[in-house]
Amino acid sequence: MELTVGAVLEGKVKSITNFGAFIALPENKTGMVHISEIANAYVSDIRQHLTEGQDVKVMVIAVDPAGKINLSMKRLEPKPQNAERPARPAFRRENGAQNGQTGTQNRPQGSNRPAPAEKRAAAPVPPPAPKTADQLFEEKLKAFMSESDSKLSGMRADHRTKSRRR
Protein backbone atom coordinates (compact mmCIF):
# COMPACT_ATOMS: atom_id res chain seq x y z
CA MET A 1 0.00 0.00 0.00
CA GLU A 2 1.46 3.34 -1.07
CA LEU A 3 0.89 6.15 1.45
CA THR A 4 -0.24 9.37 -0.15
CA VAL A 5 -0.73 12.81 1.36
CA GLY A 6 -4.36 13.22 2.39
CA ALA A 7 -4.97 9.51 2.99
CA VAL A 8 -7.01 8.75 6.13
CA LEU A 9 -5.83 5.67 8.06
CA GLU A 10 -6.65 3.74 11.20
CA GLY A 11 -3.74 3.18 13.57
CA LYS A 12 -2.81 2.36 17.14
CA VAL A 13 -0.82 4.61 19.48
CA LYS A 14 2.52 2.85 19.87
CA SER A 15 4.35 5.30 22.18
CA ILE A 16 3.98 8.83 23.50
CA THR A 17 6.71 11.45 23.91
CA ASN A 18 6.68 15.10 25.01
CA PHE A 19 6.68 16.28 21.37
CA GLY A 20 4.24 13.83 19.80
CA ALA A 21 2.90 10.30 19.51
CA PHE A 22 4.10 7.44 17.33
CA ILE A 23 1.30 5.59 15.55
CA ALA A 24 1.50 2.01 14.25
CA LEU A 25 0.01 1.98 10.76
CA PRO A 26 -0.95 -0.92 8.45
CA GLU A 27 1.89 -2.94 6.81
CA ASN A 28 4.20 -2.48 9.83
CA LYS A 29 4.75 1.22 9.12
CA THR A 30 5.03 3.87 11.81
CA GLY A 31 4.15 7.55 11.61
CA MET A 32 4.28 10.42 14.05
CA VAL A 33 1.62 12.91 15.11
CA HIS A 34 3.33 16.09 16.34
CA ILE A 35 1.87 17.72 19.47
CA SER A 36 0.64 20.63 17.32
CA GLU A 37 -1.39 18.18 15.18
CA ILE A 38 -3.24 16.43 18.05
CA ALA A 39 -6.20 18.79 18.48
CA ASN A 40 -7.49 22.18 17.35
CA ALA A 41 -7.06 23.52 20.89
CA TYR A 42 -3.68 24.09 22.59
CA VAL A 43 -2.22 20.80 23.86
CA SER A 44 0.19 21.08 26.78
CA ASP A 45 0.20 17.39 27.70
CA ILE A 46 -0.40 14.75 25.03
CA ARG A 47 -1.33 12.19 27.66
CA GLN A 48 -4.55 14.12 28.33
CA HIS A 49 -5.62 13.33 24.75
CA LEU A 50 -4.02 9.95 23.97
CA THR A 51 -3.05 6.73 25.70
CA GLU A 52 -0.77 3.95 24.49
CA GLY A 53 -2.71 1.21 22.71
CA GLN A 54 -5.59 3.56 21.77
CA ASP A 55 -7.03 3.18 18.26
CA VAL A 56 -6.97 6.48 16.36
CA LYS A 57 -7.89 7.82 12.95
CA VAL A 58 -5.13 9.91 11.34
CA MET A 59 -4.47 11.76 8.09
CA VAL A 60 -1.15 11.58 6.25
CA ILE A 61 0.14 15.15 5.87
CA ALA A 62 3.65 14.44 4.58
CA VAL A 63 5.95 11.60 3.57
CA ASP A 64 9.58 12.61 3.21
CA PRO A 65 12.17 10.82 1.03
CA ALA A 66 13.74 9.21 4.12
CA GLY A 67 10.43 7.41 4.74
CA LYS A 68 9.25 9.46 7.72
CA ILE A 69 5.47 9.74 7.83
CA ASN A 70 3.92 12.88 9.35
CA LEU A 71 0.36 12.46 10.57
CA SER A 72 -2.42 14.70 11.86
CA MET A 73 -5.47 14.08 13.97
CA LYS A 74 -6.73 17.65 14.16
CA ARG A 75 -7.20 17.94 10.39
CA LEU A 76 -9.93 15.31 10.66
CA GLU A 77 -11.82 17.38 13.25
CA PRO A 78 -14.17 20.20 12.26
CA LYS A 79 -12.59 23.63 12.70
CA PRO A 80 -13.91 25.47 15.78
CA GLN A 81 -15.63 28.82 15.45
CA ASN A 82 -13.55 31.40 17.33
CA ALA A 83 -16.37 33.76 18.27
CA GLU A 84 -14.85 34.75 21.62
CA ARG A 85 -11.49 35.76 20.11
CA PRO A 86 -11.56 39.41 19.03
CA ALA A 87 -9.87 40.49 15.83
CA ARG A 88 -6.63 42.43 16.18
CA PRO A 89 -7.00 46.14 15.52
CA ALA A 90 -5.23 47.50 12.47
CA PHE A 91 -2.52 50.06 13.06
CA ARG A 92 -2.25 53.16 10.92
CA ARG A 93 0.86 54.87 9.66
CA GLU A 94 1.19 58.58 9.15
CA ASN A 95 0.49 58.20 5.42
CA GLY A 96 -2.76 56.33 6.08
CA ALA A 97 -1.51 52.85 5.17
CA GLN A 98 -2.65 49.90 7.26
CA ASN A 99 -0.81 46.82 8.54
CA GLY A 100 2.56 47.50 7.00
CA GLN A 101 1.33 48.42 3.53
CA THR A 102 2.76 51.44 1.79
CA GLY A 103 1.04 54.25 -0.03
CA THR A 104 -2.73 54.43 -0.01
CA GLN A 105 -3.40 50.72 -0.49
CA ASN A 106 -5.89 49.75 2.20
CA ARG A 107 -6.80 46.37 0.70
CA PRO A 108 -5.14 42.99 1.30
CA GLN A 109 -2.34 42.16 -1.10
CA GLY A 110 -3.50 40.37 -4.22
CA SER A 111 -7.05 41.68 -3.85
CA ASN A 112 -8.53 42.89 -7.13
CA ARG A 113 -11.78 44.04 -5.55
CA PRO A 114 -12.46 47.77 -5.51
CA ALA A 115 -12.39 49.56 -2.17
CA PRO A 116 -15.73 49.74 -0.33
CA ALA A 117 -17.94 52.71 -1.20
CA GLU A 118 -17.52 54.41 2.18
CA LYS A 119 -13.74 54.40 1.80
CA ARG A 120 -13.86 55.74 -1.75
CA ALA A 121 -16.28 58.53 -0.81
CA ALA A 122 -14.25 59.67 2.24
CA ALA A 123 -12.50 62.99 1.91
CA PRO A 124 -8.70 62.81 1.76
CA VAL A 125 -6.93 63.54 5.02
CA PRO A 126 -4.94 66.77 4.81
CA PRO A 127 -1.20 66.43 5.46
CA PRO A 128 -0.05 67.48 8.92
CA ALA A 129 1.14 71.05 9.34
CA PRO A 130 4.90 71.51 8.97
CA LYS A 131 6.77 71.38 12.26
CA THR A 132 8.50 74.38 13.67
CA ALA A 133 12.22 74.43 14.43
CA ASP A 134 11.45 74.17 18.16
CA GLN A 135 9.28 71.08 17.64
CA LEU A 136 11.96 69.41 15.51
CA PHE A 137 14.62 70.16 18.12
CA GLU A 138 12.41 68.77 20.91
CA GLU A 139 11.79 65.55 18.97
CA LYS A 140 15.51 65.10 18.24
CA LEU A 141 16.38 65.77 21.88
CA LYS A 142 13.76 63.25 23.09
CA ALA A 143 15.08 60.59 20.68
CA PHE A 144 18.68 61.26 21.77
CA MET A 145 17.78 61.04 25.48
CA SER A 146 15.87 57.79 24.96
CA GLU A 147 18.75 56.21 23.03
CA SER A 148 21.25 57.44 25.59
CA ASP A 149 19.24 56.00 28.50
CA SER A 150 18.98 52.59 26.83
CA LYS A 151 22.75 52.51 26.16
CA LEU A 152 23.54 53.53 29.75
CA SER A 153 21.25 50.86 31.22
CA GLY A 154 22.90 48.23 28.99
CA MET A 155 26.35 49.34 30.14
CA ARG A 156 25.25 49.22 33.79
CA ALA A 157 23.93 45.68 33.34
CA ASP A 158 27.24 44.61 31.76
CA HIS A 159 29.20 46.21 34.60
CA ARG A 160 27.13 44.42 37.25
CA THR A 161 27.64 40.99 35.67
CA LYS A 162 31.39 41.54 35.17
CA SER A 163 31.95 42.71 38.74
CA ARG A 164 30.21 39.62 40.18
CA ARG A 165 32.48 37.23 38.32
CA ARG A 166 35.55 38.24 40.36
**Closest Cα partner for 100 from 114, 82, 88?**
88
Q: What is the average pLDDT across 63-85?
A: 82
Strand, helix or coil for residue 9: strand
The answer to whether the CB of 52 falls within 8 A of the CB of 12 is no
105 has a pLDDT exceeding 60: no
Write the DSSP assignment of 117-151 as a string of letters.
HHHHHSPPPPPPPPPPHHHHHHHHHHHHHHHHHHH
91 or 154, greater pLDDT: 154
CATH topology of domain 8-76: OB fold (Dihydrolipoamide Acetyltransferase, E2P) (2.40.50)
Provide the residue ranges of all domains of the chain, joining segments of one domain with +.
8-76, 131-166
Looking at residue 11, its pLDDT comes to 93
pLDDT tens-digit profile of 1-57?
678 888 899 999 999 999 999 999 988 999 999 999 999 888 889 999 999 999 999
